[in-house]
Each structure stands twice: as structure tokens, then as C-alpha cells.
Structure 1
């Protein structure tokens, strides 16, 4: 099974795990714990747990959620075995509770899913896959027995979307373990749970927005609007601010994302969240504020206890130093890329590939890329204008030049100008492992979707899937497959 991006694991599993605890019938004390955990005030939430009824599915799930959330956010390998053992212990306790009770069955599925995600985060893929299967089957059985139970409908919907979007090369594994997904069915289940009559409608809308953003690029604004509204309504909720910051960054709204970061709730009562500094470092890098980017990534490296994003952080530090003409510091971080961390996330794999290839940094091209990634399209175009591209220019530089220019025009809704540039980038990338061809194919598919030419859109999405080896294979394939499934 493909390993999801670690950040997505955090985002997904929080959304999957917290819906139970707001349920009607929960005591005021349990709701108070829920509120603290939801804000990432995990330690305070833990101090309240001993005052709750202990032989209770909700209390067991709350305790598991606190441990799991800490593990995902901080990725401390030193706590992995301890927290995983606690999850298994809670599963045993849940089996001793009355099995006919819907919340007990639901809590079992939730804790099992959290155990699967914990194992996946730390590289134990095979064991994670079987726990994932058990959780999925439990959700499915719950749905058959309790078809109107909204929390289960919501979580089952997410899993149906995820299983339905698994790249083809992993379908054999899903067939072996007996899992089948459906993106339309999953989205329908999610949509049903967003009605205001649902007592969990805020959480349902947040979950729906994240999945909608992943599956339907044409509805990015709708998804982002939902998340921003939730973040505004609870400005002391660090997790809501993180989700808003994440989606704003993904949609090239860097200035707004940075404002969310700067206004985020802070203090010792909140769980340390190092990845936010890594995200902020990108936002500063996009706008060419190199000192601030360096400061944020240094802070990330000081606080982070995991192995993910270490290569990426050193790569971004290399860029910040190189683009600000600090050659010795840039070279030191360039060498660090190969020496630290793991290559599990696409960020880290790309950084490792960059360091291994050791191609010279073309500053205007890199600065154009960073500006474009941040939504600073005019600045990006100005950087590209400094390059004189000809037949003598290296093929990789030519391909990236036209790809970046296409992304700039695409970002400014100049679709007819973007299309031929994407097509040129595809031609120039043929016969290489450059990701510009598959990414350009994906983006051309999106344009033809917007132009209401489904046959051409479908052709480009299939073309994006046809490329075998490139840095962003998993994410581009997933997006192309989702787009095809939605057509």
C-alpha cells in the first residue's frame, strides 16, 4: 500500500478520530476534554481524563486520541513503542465492553485505524495494512447495522474515497485484503454528514472540505471557504488554524497563509507543532524573505523529533542561503541533505534527488518557481524574463522554463496561453524522468475540464498516469485518478 504523506496522515487521522467525542449524551466533563484536545491542548486534556468514567468507550477513545495526536504532530520515535502499546491495550479493554453498543464498535474501529496510521507513519507497512483492513471492515459492518449513525457514515466515506483513489499498481494488494473503494459513494456519505441537523456538522464540514480540495480542483474555492470560516469561528483552535494555513498554502494564497501563521494561538498550553515552522519557512521563501525562511527552518530542526522533512528542510535552507549569496552555508546544507532523515515523503525524495543529481542552480528559474508556488505570479514572470532560452539551452532547463511559464499563466487564468506552453514542456521532457511532463499533462487535463472538453481532459489525465518514473509519481497519479473517477 502506498505510504501517504506524513502531513496528510496527521490531517486525516485527526479528522477521522475526533467526531465521536462531541456526541450527544457525553457528559460535560467529556466534552471539556474534547474541547482541549481539539485545540491541541493535549496535556491539559490528559489531566482531565482520570476524572472521567474509565470503563467507557468514549473515555478510552479520548485517551487514545491524545496519544495518537501527540505521536502524529511530534513524530517522536522514542515514544512510538509506548504509545502503540497503549493503543493495543485500549483495544483489549474495548472488547470487554458490551459489543452491541454502537459507540463501543465505533471506538474499536477508530482505535484500530489510529494504530494503523501510527505504524504507517513509522514505516511498519505490513502490520499497518492489516490494521487498516480490520478498521475498514469494522466501519463497513457498523454501517450495515447502524445505517443512520452519522459519525460512522462520515469516516467510512473518507476511507471509501481513499481506497478508491489508490494508484493502479497497488490494486492487487487491495484485492488480496478484500477492500473496495468508491469515490462517488464516499463523497456522498461525506456530503450527507454536513447538514446542520448533524450535531457534528462543523467537523463534518472541515473533513468534507479537505477531501473536496483533494478530489475536485474545480471546487478549491468552496473547500477553502469552508475551512476559513471554521478557523475564523474558533481562533483559539490551533488545529483549525493549521488546516486553514495548509489549504491556503496549497492554493498559492501565501500572504493569507502567513497571516494565519502569525496570528496562530501560542503558549505552553498548546502541543508543540514543529511542522508549522517548516510550512512558514516555505511561505517566506516564496516571497524571497530569505532571513525569515532560514530562521523558521532552523526552529523546525531544533524542535522536530521525527525523521520526515529533514532532507526537505536542509534543501530549503540550501536554497535560502544560495539565493541570498551565502555560498558556504548553502554548501553545508546541501551536503546535509544526503546525511539526514528518510525518503518517505515526496518533499524529502525530491530533495534527495536534487542533491544526488547535483545540477547547477539556475537562480532566475528557481526564483520564478518559488514565486509561482507562492502565488506571486508577476514576480515569477519577471524572473523568467531574465532567461534567454534557445536550442543550445540544456533540455531540462528548457522544459522547466516552459513549464513554469505555463503555471504562471494558468495561475492567472490565462488558460489559452498556458496550454501550448504545457504542451511544449511535455515534448521537451520526453525520454527523461523529469516530472514536468506528467505534471503538465495533469494541469492540461484540468484546463480542458474547465473548458468543458471532457474527451481531451480524459486523454491528458491518462497521459499523466502513463509516466513511470518521476519525483512526484504518487501524488500526480492520485490526482489524475481522482479526476478521471469524478468525470
Structure 2
């Protein structure tokens, strides 16, 4: 006799047959996963990990889980900057990739998730000096995303990683990572990358991918500020973070960071003072360092307390030498020579020389004791207090500056302030003097002056002069910030062409 299913089981089987296919997919970005993802981007990592662990127990084959676990590790390392944690957590990468790779090839999340994990580790490895491994991970991510775009052209999130890769690689100076990726035929385009990320940030709120908005804005702000050094970084970041909840500590970080970098110092201080706090948030010592920078940039000596708080709570490898340098400057400005020397000794003997700021701190120490007037003018300029910086410079006579470095910096500072105040003829005159005086110095003043002259000439549509200045900046070697200045000059030449 032919066997038959009971009617209730038959009905259930037919019901399942006509359900949307996404409910069967092992890549299930369900409500729990979306909740965990949102908490990660508020930097509430402990709560996010609890939800991820619960999802893993109830749905062990859901391959969104290893992606979320990697997100949590990525932001933990971003906040802690800990080498020990990095060594411990990076061992999880391959197992996560294996689970994802073996899953549903018909889901757009399969290749996307593999690309994301590789990109996240590439960004973290760069912080710890693993440039070759980072290059290999960028290569893999690029391959996955290109393939995913062909298979799933309507999957908008592909543009996030591809935009980031294009922008970063398009602005890379010559070096190990660029040469490694060039070997595989991978080259970026800054303009293309920025356009992709801007379109995504603009379009996501009205799409089904709206939950990924904060992540896109995070990377877009990073690229504008640190990669392309865009003049629009502050305006763009402020516009896009406005719709992110104030309960997000990541929002506070993004906004304060961009404000501090782009001369909106008072807003940076206000943002950091109002940041959300509590045990639910991931510890983020860097924010104390950033507050110290912002306070000192208005010559507020209470900055010392913030640098000391950072040094006490920090378990990472970055900004230690730079913090002691700033503490030394505070003592110098306050007239305490002994305190200055004690902190300078710590710059030399404590911390690591991996991050660019810490490398520069060592170079600053090697250059000798700074001129106090020029130091004040520099700090005020960095904070966006251009008129106050000019007042300090007005009290300094060029003929009294006997050191070539000091005289070069004096004209550079005059040029920079004039530039920001819209006095471009005065800026060009002083920049040219800085270029003339500072050729061959390890200080960045001459190269940065040439770069800034090029930008003014480009704005004036004086393209031959602009091209000459950008090439002058590129041809200056062996100075501070050589990579970033050269990268910016090359990018400017490309945009002009």
C-alpha cells in the first residue's frame, strides 16, 4: 500500500515550499543579527556579543554569525589598539572564512562576508605594521567584491568595500603595499572610490540596506579625512552623521575626530564632552588623547590631565610617544625646563614607533627644543584659531630666528594662516620663502609649502605653476610626512589632468 503523509504534515510541507527563499538561506541577517550589528556600531560590544552568542546557539549554521563576530573583534581592536589582543583575536579569521566559504553560493552575502572579513583585518594589520599581509587581504577582498558585483549587480553593499579599496589604493604613495598590489594588477582611483561611497551614503536611508548606513558613513568619513585629505571632510561628515543616534559612541568619535583634524576645535571639545558614557560602551582611551590634543590646541594647559588619563588607561601601541611629547610641550610653554626634559626622555624610551604620530614625535625630539612662540602659533593654527596664531607670529621677528629650521617654520606658519584667512597672495609669498629656506631639511615645512602653493595655483586655474609646485613637493625626499604629502601632491596632479 502506498504510504501517505498525514494531512497536517503535508500542509506544513506545502507551506514551507512557498515561503520566501531568504528564510531558508543560511546567511540569515535576522532581527537578532541586525540588533547585534547596530549595537556594534554604537560600540556596545559586550551586549552585541551576548546576542551573537545566543544566535550561534539557536542557529549554529547561520553564516552571518562569523561575520558579526569579526565586526566585534575589529572594533575591539580599533578601540584598544592592543598588540596582545590583536595576536589573540587574529587566529579566529580562518575558521570564520571557512564556514562562510562552505555556505550558500546563491546568497550575495557569501562573497561579501569573505571580502568584509579580509578588509577588516587588512585595516587592523596596517596599524601593527603587517603591510604585506594587509596587501594580500585587500587583494582577496577586491576579487570577492568584483565577482559578487557580477553575480549580484543590485547588491548595493558591494560599493562600500570597492569604494574604500579604490580610494585607499588610489592615494597610496610608493611603498611595499602599493608595489605588492600593483604586481596583481590592482590599482585604485580616488575619484571613483569617493563617488561610490558618497552615492551609497546618500541612497541607503531610502533603501532596504538602511541598517548599514552608519558603517558606510564611518568609512566615508575616514577616507575623506585621512586618505584624501578632502576640504569637504568636515561638511560631508557633519551632514551624514546628523541622522545617527546620539547614543552611538562611534558617532561621537567620528564627529570629534573630523572636527579636530579640520580646525573646528571648539566643536570637537563640545562633542567629546557630551559623548555617551557608561559600562555598556567599549573602553576607548584614544578619546582622552583626542581631548588632550583639542585642549592644547587652544593653549589650555588642562590638556595634561587628558594625556595622563590616556596613558594610564591605554593598552595599545599608538600615541604613547606623542602623548609624552605634548606633555613636554605643556611644560615648555609653562616655563618648566626640568619637566620638559623628563617628558622628552619618555618620548625616547617609552612606547612604540609604529604609528606615524609616534615616529614624528621622535623626529621632533631629534630636531631639538622648539621655539616657544612658533610652538604656540602652531598649536593655535592646528585648532583653527588662525587670527590668534597670526598675533603670536606678529610678535616674532624673522631676523631673530637664527636656526634655518625656525626661520623656515616661521614663513610656513605665516603662509598657512594667510591661506586659511583667504589672503592668498601673502600666503604664496611666505610659502615661497619657506620653500627657499627649507630645502634639504628633515622638517616637512618646505614640502608642505610647495603642496599648498600648488593648491592655491590650481584654485586660481594657473595650472602650469600648480604642476610645478606639486612636482617640487613630490621631489623633496627624506622629510616628515613624506608619504602623505607626496600622495596628496600626486592625487592633485591626477585631478588636474
State the structure with more CA Rg.
2
Q: 1:221 to 1:238 in 2, by over 3 A?
A: closer
> What is the number of equivalent residue pairs in this alignment?
460
1:118-167 Cα offsets, whole Å, 9 max, x none, are 33322233223222221221112212222221111221011011111111
- Which residue matches 1:367? 376
Matched-pair contact (CA < 8 Å) for 2:173–2:484: no
**Is 1:26 matched up with 2:38?**
no
The within-5 A match list for 1:414-453 is 414-453=423-462
Q: CA deviation at 1:319?
A: 0.5
Are positions 1:401 and 2:410 aligned together? yes
Distance 1:202 1:139 in 2: 19
Question: Which of 249, 253, 259 is equivalent to 2:270?
Answer: 259
Structure 1 counterpart of 2:53: 50
1:52-91 maps to which residues of 2 (within 5 A)?
Answer: 52=55, 53-91=59-97
The aligned residue for residue 16 of structure 2 is none
Check whether the contact 1:227–1:244 (CA below 8 A) recurs between aligned residues.
Answer: no
Q: CA deviation at 1:89?
A: 1.6
Give, in whole Å, the separation in 2 of the partners of 1:480 and 1:70.
34
1:192-245 per-position Cα deviation (integer Å, ceiling 9, x unaligned): 322243333733455434434443634345324324524xx4111110111111
Q: Which residue of 2 aligns with 1:336?
A: 346
Q: Which residue of 1 aligns with 2:223?
A: 211
Give yes or no for the alignment of 1:187 onto 2:198: no
- Alpha-carbon distance, 1:301 to partner: 0.5
Closer/same/farther in 2, CA of residues 385 and 260 from structure 1, 3 Å limit: same
How far did residue 287 of structure 1 move? 0.9
Do structure 1's residue 247 and structure 2's residue 258 form an aligned pair?
yes
In structure 2, relative to structure 1, the CA distance for the partners of 1:216 and 1:72 (3 Å cut) is closer
Q: Which residue of 2 aligns with 1:296?
A: 306
Residues 311, 348 of structure 1: 8 Å contact kept: yes
Q: Is the 2:149–2:158 Cα contact (8 Å) retained in structure 1? A: yes
Question: Is it true that 1:113 corresponds to 2:124 in the alignment?
Answer: no
Corresponding residue to 2:336 among 304, 318, 326: 326
Work out whether 1:37 is the aligned partner of 2:28. no
Q: Work out the CA distance in 2 between the residues paired with 1:28 and 1:470.
A: 52
Q: Distance in 1 between matches of 2:463 and 2:195?
A: 22
The 8 Å contact of residues 66 and 96 in structure 2, kept in 1 or not, is answered as yes
Alignment CA distance shift 1:172-1:112 (3 Å): closer
**Partner of residue 15, structure 1:** none
Equivalents in 2 of 1:261, 1:197: separation in Å? 30
Question: Corresponding residue for 1:154?
Answer: 160
Give, in whole Å, the separation in 2 of the partners of 1:353 and 1:480.
23
Instruction: Name 1:16's counterpart in structure 2.
Output: none
1:477 aligns to 2:489 (yes or no): no
Contact 1:206–1:227 (Cα < 8 Å) also in 2: no
Q: CA deviation at 1:96?
A: 2.0
Q: Which residue of 2 aligns with 1:305?
A: 315
Q: Is the 8 A contact 1:210 1:223 kept in 2?
A: no
Gaps of 5+ in 2: 1-26
Aligned to 2:389: 380
1:317 to 327, 331, 346: 327
Give the corresponding residue for 1:135.
141
> 1:280 deviation in Å?
0.8
Deviation at 1:428, TM superposition (A): 0.6
Q: Distance in 1 between matches of 2:377 and 2:192?
A: 40
TM-score (norm 1): 0.89
Partner secondary structure for residue 390 of structure 1:
helix
Q: Is the 8 A contact 1:227 1:243 kept in 2?
A: no
Deviates more, 1:325-334 or 1:213-222: 213-222
Residue 119 to residue 219, structure 1, CA distance change in 2 (3 Å): closer
Shift of 1:391: 7.8
Task: Say which is worse superposed, 149-158 or 121-130, in terms of deviation.
Answer: 121-130
Q: Which runs of 5+ in 1 are unaligned?
A: 1-23
User: For the residues of structure 2 that align with 1:179 and 1:452, how far apart are their CA atoms?
Assistant: 32
Greater CA deviation, 303-312 or 386-395?
Answer: 386-395
Report whether the alignment pairs 1:99 with 2:105: yes
The answer (yes or no) to whether the contact 1:84–1:118 under 8 Å persists in 2 is no
Provide the C-alpha distance between the structure 1 equivalents of 2:242 and 2:462, rounded to a whole number of angstroms: 33
TM-superposed deviation, 1:174: 2.3
Cα distance between partner residues in 2 of 1:431 and 1:107: 48
